[in-house]
Amino acid sequence: MARKPTPPGTPQATSVGHIVDLVRGAVPPLHPAGLPFVLAPLGVAVLGRNRKWVRRGALTSAAACAAFFRHPHRVPPNRVGVAVAPADGEVALVDSAVPPSELDMGTEPLPRVSIFLSVLDVHVQRSPVGGEVTKVVHRPGKFLSADLSDASEVNERNSMLLHTAEGHDVAVVQIAGLLARRIVCDAKVGDTLPIGDTYGLIRFGSRVDTYFPAGTTLLAERGQRTIGAETVIAQLP
């Protein structure tokens, strides 16, 4: 396997340091929200270390939670006027729809891209564009399967509105799913988010809808796999 090129002038790493760097590059860091879910089964593994089935079950649970809450490093594109996928997953809808009423974006349908996240996908959410957070609204609701069309309307959701430097409003909506019972949004009104910046997380299985201003060219296709912060899904007007 080819190695990542080392910039000129980089000090020679020791063998131990080189191994540590390789591990860091191969194993994604853990999102802070996942720490309790990893530490709890590890504690059970320690307490039950004399019982093989308890120890193995707890370690397996800790590993599964660590995989779910992984937070890999991503590099957004430097193209002007593009929007990136706010999440890893599969594009479920590429259409036009009325944005959530709580964002006061009007009643006219706007271009929308909907991404479905399975329990195996990375579950952190990232800002699709760079801009100022002007609204963050959480709305309680049901927990239907996130791949159903009605989920956008009736499921629990957290809606965030971003205002770009070019004057565009872009909304990104975290939608809870059948197994997702907790939406985390760290962004607050007044924050300025760079494109691709991590702002939240949904556990466990969910959907993220992005609404764009009229005149946006949608570049995503149904069934396409997206990489959060890196896959370009739209060109703003």
Q: Looking up tokens 């193995």, which residue turns up?
A: 56
Please tell me the distance from the alpha carbon of residue 81 to that of residue 34, in angstroms, as a whole number: 33
Q: Quick check: is 206 catalytic?
A: yes
Burial 48-61 (b: 16+ CB within 10 A, else e): eeeeeeebeebeeb
Q: What are phi and psi of 136, to 5 degrees?
A: -140, 115
Please tell me the distance from the alpha carbon of residue 48 to that of residue 42, in angstroms, as a whole number: 10
User: Per the residue annotation, which of 114, 127, 152, 206 is the catalytic one?
Assistant: 206
Residues annotated catalytic, as ranges: 206
